Amino acid sequence: MRNYLRPIMIFTKANLLRFFRDKVYLFFMFILPVMFLFIFGMVYGNNFSTFKIAIFDEASTALSGQFVEMMTNMGDGVMEKVEVVDWIDAEDRLIRGELSAIVEFPEGFGEVGKENAMPAGEVKVVYGKNSEQAGQTISWIVNSMATETNYAMMGQRPSVTVKSESLAREGLTNFDYVFAGLLGYTVLSIGLMGIANLLPGDKESGATKRLRATTIKPSQIVLSYALTFLVVGIISFLIMIVLGLLVFNFHMRGNWFSFAAFTAISTMMMLGFGLFVGGWARNEAQASALANLIMFPMMFLSGVFFPMFMMPGFIQVISRFIPLTPVVDGIRLIITENYSLIQVLPQLGVVVGWGVIIYFIAIKSFRWE
């Protein structure tokens, strides 16, 4: 075992020294992810223009139906009703940022009581702690509707009121959601922008051909490249996390150990794709074409830059078969919803499965020149 690992460590050290002397690699591995962080951080620092709400009409009266109709038929797409399974489903969506608020018309709303000659009741608006601005805006809109309804009741005293409250559970800000995707992009860029071009360059320079004359095995070369870029990935993640904390007020809600373990395993899996591309390609032109063919579907269909729930249904189905999707989902669940490694076992299982498959293919398809 010692004789097997020693060449890997020596080759990894040599690769790291070479990497940090190459300005192009430094740009793609460190500067480019940071640029995306600042661009999307500034864009998603604001709330979305359309408020997505879940409506629970427990009263089913004429007055509650009138309110529901007014909210769902507002012009300019101000409010969009989202269908949910139940209250728990609505809360979970609110925490994940899929909803701006939950509006409830409780039982008895809109009924005529002994004290009120006109229909009365209280509308309940629930919003997340991290979306108070959106929640308060929705409360103001519903309150305006209530005021108009009260005036329409022939000068009767206000009989419809609005109650606003913040959900006790902490939810996502827009930046939190996008930040998880950007960390997924970092995993992708480390795996496919580095090794995929470095290995073919070594082939063209004759470096791998000379190594073939030694006792080193393809698996040792593959693992040494993987360890090299795992170290690079750790540094890149540290830069992203520190900037997220200091500049964009990112809050880690999960466990740092779970996050580190999951991202390390995910990075190793994604490095397998870079090793496959770089090991199979004979030159940088072949590597670049194949890397782009693999990278772009992952980048745009895995929830990296755009939340999955905003995509069409058939795209969401396709994305489940893309290797980067469980990576982004797992990171997002850990850092925003405090999931443990046990809770993200479904995502971790898919990541490990892809890792076993792609490393087997990478070693078998490796070309020395």
Tens digits of per-residue pLDDT, 82-132? Answer: 888 899 888 888 877 788 889 998 888 877 765 555 677 788 888 876 666
Query: Quick one: 32 and 93 in the same domain?
Result: no
Query: How confident is the model at residue 262, as a pLDDT?
Result: 94
Query: Quick one: 199 and 127 in the same domain?
Result: no
Query: Quick one: 254 and 196 in the same domain?
Result: yes
Mean pLDDT of 228-256: 85
**Residue 268: inside a domain, yes or no?**
yes
Query: How confident is the model at residue 67, as a pLDDT?
Result: 83
pTM for this predicted structure = 0.65
Per-residue pLDDT at 19 exceeds 80: no
Q: Which domain holds residue 55?
A: 51-166
Query: How confident is the model at residue 173, as a pLDDT?
Result: 64
Give the span between the Cα atoms of 44 and 40, in whole angstroms. 6
Mean pLDDT of 7-20: 80
**Residue 369: inside a domain, yes or no?**
no
Residue at which a domain ends, from 125, 150, 166: 166
Query: How confident is the model at residue 347, as a pLDDT?
Result: 92
Query: How confident is the model at residue 246, as a pLDDT?
Result: 85
Per-residue pLDDT at 303 exceeds 60: yes
CB-based contact 366:280 (threshold 8 Å): yes
Residue at which a domain ends, from 118, 133, 166: 166
Query: Quick one: 131 and 258 in the same domain?
Result: no
Query: Quick one: 196 and 319 in the same domain?
Result: yes
Residue at which a domain ends, from 124, 141, 166: 166
For the chain, what is the domain count?
2
Strand partners, 53: 81, 101
Count other C-beta atoms under 10 Å from residue 345's C-beta. Answer: 13
Backbone dihedral region of 154: left (phi > 0), alpha (psi from -120 to 50 degrees) or beta?
A: left
Query: Quick one: 188 and 260 in the same domain?
Result: yes
Query: Quick one: 39 and 57 in the same domain?
Result: no
**Residue 98: inside a domain, yes or no?**
yes
**Residue 102: inside a domain, yes or no?**
yes
Query: How confident is the model at residue 130, as a pLDDT?
Result: 64
